[in-house]
């Protein structure tokens, strides 16, 4: 499917409902998996079955219904597809030819079936044995001058057992170079929250949704990216709980949503109004909004109203006066101008917050992907602390994670800045001295490749080159490498932008059975609310020549570290042995892992702030000052617009399921730019005009994407949006949050350039 002329038809139905049911059936049919797929769906997220490979939203503790959503079903259908990529496929297409195909086309070719090695003489991937593949990896890694010349990427589908051993292997090899997808995603959560509350994770569990008296959903497109959370929001609305949605895009599902499993509501075409307040914030305007809310609280407290939880603040926190005094320096005009929200609405939202005795704040990429994402999240904590919204039922902070095991991978060691205590445990348990210096995160890894320092890239899942910023520079950097290894289920761009040597290693997916000499194995994952559950695939592997991620890690280790005393071979056969080692390295949270995982509904890892215990340096929860109202550097250019790169309803990150974005009313084409009609008219453009977009930056590099169609959309003034990954060429590598290294993908300063004579150039 190519990009045809885009069609824009506003979606007037509630999100979810029959539209979602129809879309689910259609995709199962298209991937020819109606029977296997439907059978597998019955096991998805059920005790004894496998965890949905899509998002990290938790399962309900006691819901009896089928537990999947339209997009989970899509993820499964595309994983369980009947289509296969064979050696004949690679024989028919050179890599250069494949490079000319779209991401969508590559995905549609189906599952990878056997290991392949790049052959430069024919520009083709050719079959190779697993033994040869591991030998090649071992040879390259052993030939490096320093272990720091290798980068070991992880994407968040990799289960705990594989990630834990990968972390041990790479540290035994000698580096902490662990770029991972989290570095582009919730890293501000992992780095920003610890100084404030002592943990870099969310503090809520599923049960809290049933007790919250107000729920904030900030910078998250729930209906598309965490659809199962919609059930919680619908239930909360039915209890009369106010929901405050804060977003520059009026996302359909946050306005009206019908739960596809709610049969009565579907039969009567009813729907639930979701947001009681939709706050149409400007891109990056959240800081000003939060300060406005806090200002209302401080003003009313000063007037004698009991709006703050003084006792909690006294007993548990530090820094209150500092943030109060700074907040009060901002006047309303400044707050309203920066946030784009009227004082009246800010006061209304503050009223909701004040009345609620238990508030949850959920957030996604709309808050993390800014230049000061980490410090912005600390302001969310400030707001929660003011009313004691930690350590009580229904309250807390809820980062809604992306990949299904991205949180778990970090917990078990995928961390370029590992805590020294973890390294000590690794030394004691495994008997080697791990490297102590911090390694590379994603942006640093690309920089090391570009400088020619990094030589080897191993990708445990994911699609690194497509996910990272600055596409052109990143492609060039990858192409300089000596070896690239893609450990994957599906063909993607990452296999085509490769090093001098390159391998594609196909893996058994989440929904498939893993058999070893010790019998069928299961793996575990940790969801967004720190709950660990077992995942056991039910389908036959897509090909007999696939290997599990655990086995691939073990065999890379054996090929690279022949003298290692770690029993890699035994781990690859018996995953209980790996879980015993996880328990040994993390006695505080994973004690008795093998026993506890027998519970069909899993178990929660301890999150101390839930008990009002703060593992910070001073043992307190800390109000942290972030002066001013700006989360992104100012740009002195009157033509500047802020661009947010977002997901459509029909994609999973770099995997494109179709060219449509149903809830936003866009069909046939992803090369669109959502723009406010006034911003558009001011630039002399007509609705539907063809434009190019250019990044405004001082580094002398021209970053430009052509072939975009402008679409009038209810965006705030000065804000535009378009799709990731097509717009990644516009995002400069250095344009990231300093604390976490997370690229500021939601706030790229751009200008729009008309490309047709009939529409004048806008600045
Ligand atoms: N079906 C599906 N599910 C997924 C994924 C997928 O691609 N497809 N990806 C998974 C992954 S890895 C992740 S991280 C999550 C991502 O899930 P989301 O966090 O929902 O990700 P995005 O689509 O990037 O969009 C975030 C939202 O932020 C808003 N936004 C943009 N700028 C701002 C701002 O300045 N302030 C505020 N308040 N909002 C802003 C956008 O309008 C958009 O609604 O979903 C996970 N689940
Ligand atoms: N501009 C911009 N850039 C962004 C973002 C944005 O919002 N805007 N979002 C960022 C975010 S939040 C994230 S998380 C990253 C995502 O970055 P990645 O996680 O690197 O990308 P994905 O598209 O999720 O990776 C898809 C590939 O994973 C492989 N795969 C699928 N399932 C499995 C499995 O079970 N095992 C293994 N080994 N491989 C598997 C398949 O081969 C598939 O092609 O992108 C980031 N980049
Ligand atoms: Mo993500």
Pick left, alpha or beta for residue 602 (phi over 0 → left; psi -120 to 50 → alpha; otherwise beta): left
Residue 540 sits in the same domain as residue 656: no
CA distances from 529 to 63, 225, 399, 407, 513 (A): 17, 16, 9, 9, 26
The β-bridge partners of 151 are 457
CB 224 within 8 A of CB 216: no
Ligand 1 touching residue 364 (CB < 6 A): yes
Residue 460 sits in the same domain as residue 413: yes
**Which residue, by CA, sits nearest to atom 22 of ligand 2?**
462
Residue 459 sits in the same domain as residue 530: yes
Ligand 1 touching residue 185 (CB < 6 A): yes
Ligand 2 atom nearest 459 alpha carbon: 38
Residue 359 has pLDDT above 60, yes or no: yes
Query: What's the CATH code of the domain at 675?
Result: 2.40.40.20
**Which residue, by CA, sits nearest to atom 31 of ligand 2?**
489
Ligand 1 touching residue 399 (CB < 6 A): no
The pick from 284, 647, 715 for probing ligand 1's pocket by mutation, whose C-beta has the most ligand atoms within 8 angstroms, reads 647
Residue 325 sits in the same domain as residue 192: yes
Residue 90 lies in a domain: no
The alpha carbon of 368 and the centre of ligand 1 are apart by a number of angstroms equal to: 10
Residue 683 tokens read as: 């630039």
* pLDDT (tens digit per residue) in 486-544: 999 999 999 999 999 999 999 999 999 999 999 999 999 999 889 999 999 999 999 99
Residue 267 has pLDDT above 60, yes or no: no
Task: Please identify, among 512, 533, 557, the residue that sits at the C-terminal boundary of a domain.
Answer: 557
Residue 622 lies in a domain: no
The alpha carbon of 56 and the centre of ligand 3 are apart by a number of angstroms equal to: 10
Segment 80-103 shows an average pLDDT of: 96
Which ligand places an atom closest to the C-alpha of 403? Answer: 1
The β-bridge partners of 750 are 641, 695
For the chain, percent of residues with pLDDT exceeding 90: 82
Pocket of ligand 2 (CB under 6 A): 155, 157-158, 181, 184-185, 365, 369, 402-403, 460-464, 467, 487-490, 492, 507, 509-510, 549, 645, 653-655, 724, 728, 731, 745
Residue 661 lies in a domain: yes
Distance between CA atoms of residues 581 and 570, nearest Å: 12
Distance between CA atoms of residues 317 and 378, nearest Å: 13
Residue 744 lies in a domain: yes
CB 401 within 8 A of CB 55: yes
**Which residue, by CA, sits nearest to atom 11 of ligand 2?**
185
Ligand 1 touching residue 339 (CB < 6 A): no
Residue 763 has pLDDT above 60, yes or no: no
The β-bridge partners of 244 are 216, 277
The alpha carbon of 220 and the centre of ligand 1 are apart by a number of angstroms equal to: 5
* Confidence tier at 348 by pLDDT (50, 70, 90): very high
Distance between CA atoms of residues 442 and 612, nearest Å: 33
Query: Which residues 6+ apart lie within 8 Å of 379 measured at CB?
Result: 287, 290, 291, 626
* pLDDT (tens digit per residue) in 604-649: 999 999 999 999 999 999 999 999 999 999 999 999 999 999 999 9
Residue 264 sits in the same domain as residue 174: no
pLDDT score, position 78? 86
Which ligand places an atom closest to the C-alpha of 647? Answer: 1
The β-bridge partners of 711 are 674
By three-state DSSP, how is residue 305 classified? coil
CB 196 within 8 A of CB 616: yes
Number of domains in the chain: 3
Query: Which residues 6+ apart lie within 8 Å of 438 measured at CB?
Result: 176, 416, 417
Which ligand places an atom closest to the C-alpha of 400? Answer: 1
* Confidence tier at 40 by pLDDT (50, 70, 90): confident
The number of angstroms, rounded, from the C-alpha of 639 to the middle of its chain's C-alpha atoms is: 31
The alpha carbon of 379 and the centre of ligand 3 are apart by a number of angstroms equal to: 21
The alpha carbon of 52 and the centre of ligand 2 are apart by a number of angstroms equal to: 15
Ligand 1 atom nearest 74 alpha carbon: 1
The alpha carbon of 241 and the centre of ligand 1 are apart by a number of angstroms equal to: 23
DSSP structural state of residue 419: -
Ligand 1 touching residue 188 (CB < 6 A): no
CB 373 within 8 A of CB 367: yes
The alpha carbon of 295 and the centre of ligand 1 are apart by a number of angstroms equal to: 28
Query: What's the CATH code of the domain at 273?
Result: 3.40.228.10
pLDDT score, position 89? 98
Residue 443 sits in the same domain as residue 372: no
CB 648 within 8 A of CB 664: yes
Task: Please identify, among 399, 421, 437, the residue that sits at the C-terminal boundary of a domain.
Answer: 399
Which ligand places an atom closest to the C-alpha of 462? Answer: 2
CA distances from 687 to 4, 236, 252, 648, 723 (A): 17, 39, 21, 20, 18
**Which residue, by CA, sits nearest to atom 8 of ligand 1?**
652
The β-bridge partners of 519 are 516
Residue 602 tokens read as: 């899993």
Residue 415 sits in the same domain as residue 393: no
Ligand 2 atom nearest 489 alpha carbon: 42
The alpha carbon of 600 and the centre of ligand 2 are apart by a number of angstroms equal to: 29
**Which residue, by CA, sits nearest to atom 38 of ligand 1?**
219
Residue 69 has pLDDT above 60, yes or no: yes
Residue 442 sits in the same domain as residue 429: yes
Residue 53 tokens read as: 């490979």
Residue 222 sits in the same domain as residue 167: no
* pLDDT (tens digit per residue) in 404-419: 999 999 999 999 999 9
pLDDT score, position 51? 85
Q: What is the mean pLDDT of the chain?
A: 92
Ligand 1 touching residue 219 (CB < 6 A): yes
* pLDDT (tens digit per residue) in 667-700: 999 999 999 999 999 999 999 999 999 999 999 9
Segment 316-323 shows an average pLDDT of: 98
* Confidence tier at 266 by pLDDT (50, 70, 90): low
**Which residue, by CA, sits nearest to atom 39 of ligand 2?**
461
Residue 610 lies in a domain: no
Measured CA angle at 412 (ends 178, 401), to 5 deg = 80
Task: Please identify, among 509, 530, 557, the residue that sits at the C-terminal boundary of a domain.
Answer: 557
CB 188 within 8 A of CB 739: yes
Ligand 1 touching residue 221 (CB < 6 A): yes
* Confidence tier at 43 by pLDDT (50, 70, 90): confident
The pick from 728, 746, 748, 749 for probing ligand 1's pocket by mutation, whose C-beta has the most ligand atoms within 8 angstroms, reads 746
The pick from 154, 445, 463, 746 for probing ligand 2's pocket by mutation, whose C-beta has the most ligand atoms within 8 angstroms, reads 463
For the chain, percent of residues with pLDDT exceeding 70: 94
Q: Is the peptide bond before 247 cis (omega within 30 degrees of 0)?
A: no
Ligand 1 atom nearest 220 alpha carbon: 20
pTM: 0.94
Distance between CA atoms of residues 657 and 674, nearest Å: 20
pLDDT score, position 451? 97
Residue 373 lies in a domain: yes
CB 166 within 8 A of CB 21: no
Residue 138 sits in the same domain as residue 219: no
Residue 713 lies in a domain: yes
Residue 35 has pLDDT above 80, yes or no: no
Candidates 296, 420, 286; CA nearest to 350 is 296
pLDDT score, position 761? 43
Distance between CA atoms of residues 437 and 185, nearest Å: 23
Ligand 1 atom nearest 645 alpha carbon: 24
* pLDDT (tens digit per residue) in 24-33: 767 766 776 6
End-to-end Cα, the chain, rounded Å:
34
φ/ψ (deg, to 5) at 539 = -95, 155
pLDDT score, position 38? 67
* Confidence tier at 74 by pLDDT (50, 70, 90): confident
Ligand 1 touching residue 54 (CB < 6 A): yes
Angle between helix 286-302 and 320-328 (nearest 10): 100
Query: What's the CATH code of the domain at 411?
Result: 3.40.50.740
Q: Flag the least confident range among 62-66, 125-129, 294-298, 739-743.
A: 62-66
**Which residue, by CA, sits nearest to atom 35 of ligand 2?**
509
Segment 652-679 shows an average pLDDT of: 94
Residue 38 lies in a domain: no
Residue 219 sits in the same domain as residue 323: yes
The alpha carbon of 467 and the centre of ligand 3 are apart by a number of angstroms equal to: 10
Burial class, 135, CB count within 10 angstroms (exposed 0-12 / middle 13-18 / buried 19+): middle
Structural domain boundaries, residue 145: 105-185+405-557
Residue 208 sits in the same domain as residue 335: yes
């Amino acid at each position: 499917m190519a990009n045809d002329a885009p069609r824009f038809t506003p979606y007037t139905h509630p999100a979810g409902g029959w539209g979602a049911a129809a879309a689910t059936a259609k995709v199962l049919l298209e991937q020819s998996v109606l029977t296997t797929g439907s059978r597998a769906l019955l096991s998805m997220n059920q005790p004894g079955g496998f965890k949905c490979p899509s998002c990290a939203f938790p399962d309900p503790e006691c819901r009896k219904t089928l537990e999947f959503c339209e997009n989970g079903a899509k993820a499964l259908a595309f994983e369980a597809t009947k289509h296969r990529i064979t050696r004949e496929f690679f024989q028919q297409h050179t890599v250069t030819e494949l490079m000319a195909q779209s991401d969508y086309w590559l995905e549609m070719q189906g599952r990878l079936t056997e290991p392949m090695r790049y052959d430069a003489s024919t520009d083709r991937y050719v079959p190779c044995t697993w033994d040869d593949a591991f030998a090649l990896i071992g040879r390259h890694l052993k030939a490096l001058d320093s272990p720091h010349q290798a980068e070991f990427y992880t994407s968040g589908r990799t289960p705990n057992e594989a990630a834990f051993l990968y972390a041990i292997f790479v540290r035994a090899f000698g580096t902490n170079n662990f770029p991972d997808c989290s570095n582009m995603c919730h890293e501000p959560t992992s780095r920003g929250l610890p100084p404030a509350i002592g943990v870099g994770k969310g503090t809520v569990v599923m049960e809290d949704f049933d007790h919250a008296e107000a729920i904030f959903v900030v910078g998250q497109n729930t209906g598309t990216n965490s659809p199962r959370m919609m059930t919680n929001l619908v239930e909360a609305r039915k209890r009369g709980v106010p929901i405050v949605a804060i977003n520059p895009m009026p996302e359909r599902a946050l306005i009206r949503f019908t739960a596809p499993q709610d049969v009565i509501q579907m039969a009567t075409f009813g729907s639930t109004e979701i947001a009681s307040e939709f706050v149409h914030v400007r891109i990056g305007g959240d800081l000003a909004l939060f300060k406005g809310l806090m200002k209302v609280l401080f003003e009313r407290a000063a007037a004698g109203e009991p709006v703050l939880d003084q006792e909690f603040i006294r007993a548990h926190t530090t820094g209150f006066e500092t943030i109060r005094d700074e907040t009060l320096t901002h006047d309303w005009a400044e707050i309203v101008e920066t946030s784009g929200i009227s004082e009246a609405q800010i006061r209304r939202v503050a009223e909701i917050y004040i009345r609620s005795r238990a508030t949850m704040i959920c957030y996604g990429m709309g808050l993390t992907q800014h230049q000061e994402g980490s410090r912005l999240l600390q302001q969310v904590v400030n707001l929660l602390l003011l009313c004691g919204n930690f350590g009580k039922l229904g309250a807390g902070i809820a980062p809604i994670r992306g990949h299904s095991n991205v949180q778990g991978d970090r917990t078990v060691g995928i961390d370029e800045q590992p805590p020294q205590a973890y390294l000590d445990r690794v030394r004691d348990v495994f008997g080697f001295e791990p490297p102590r210096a911090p390694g590379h995160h994603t942006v640093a890894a690309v920089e090391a490749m570009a400088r020619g320092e990094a030589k080897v890239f191993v990708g445990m899942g994911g699609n690194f080159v497509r996910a990272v910023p600055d596409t052109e520079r990143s492609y060039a950097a990858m192409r300089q490498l000596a070896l690239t290894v893609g450990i994957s289920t599906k063909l993607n761009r990452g296999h085509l932008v490769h090093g001098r040597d390159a391998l594609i290693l196909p893996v058994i997916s989440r929904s498939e059975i893993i058999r070893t000499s010790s019998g069928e194995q299961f793996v575990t994952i940790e969801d967004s609310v720190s709950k660990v559950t077992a995942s056991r695939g039910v389908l036959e592997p897509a090909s007999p020549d696939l290997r599990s991620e655990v086995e691939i890690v073990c065999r890379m280790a054996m090929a690279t570290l022949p003298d290692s005393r770690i029993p890699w071979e035994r781990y690859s056969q018996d995953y209980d042995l790996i879980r015993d080692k996880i328990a040994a390295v993390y006695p505080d949270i994973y004690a008795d892992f093998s026993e506890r995982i027998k519970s069909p509904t899993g178990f929660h890892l301890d999150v101390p702030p839930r008990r009002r215990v703060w593992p910070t340096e001073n043992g307190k929860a800390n109000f942290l000052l972030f002066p001013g109202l700006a989360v992104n550097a100012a740009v002195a250019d009157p033509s500047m617009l802020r661009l947010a790169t977002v997901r459509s309803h029909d994609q999973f990150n770099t995997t494109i399921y179709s060219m449509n974005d149903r809830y936003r009313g866009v069909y046939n084409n992803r090369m669109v730019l959502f723009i406010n009609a006034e911003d558009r008219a001011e630039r002399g453009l007509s609705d539907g005009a063809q434009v190019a977009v250019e990044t405004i930056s001082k580094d002398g590099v021209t970053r430009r994407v052509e072939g975009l169609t402008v679409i009038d959309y209810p965006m705030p003034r000065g804000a535009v949006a378009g799709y990731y990954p097509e717009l990644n060429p516009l995002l400069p590598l250095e344009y990231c949050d300093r604390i976490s290294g997370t690229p500021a993908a939601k706030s790229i300063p751009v200008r729009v350039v008309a490309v047709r004579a009939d529409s004048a150039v806008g600045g």
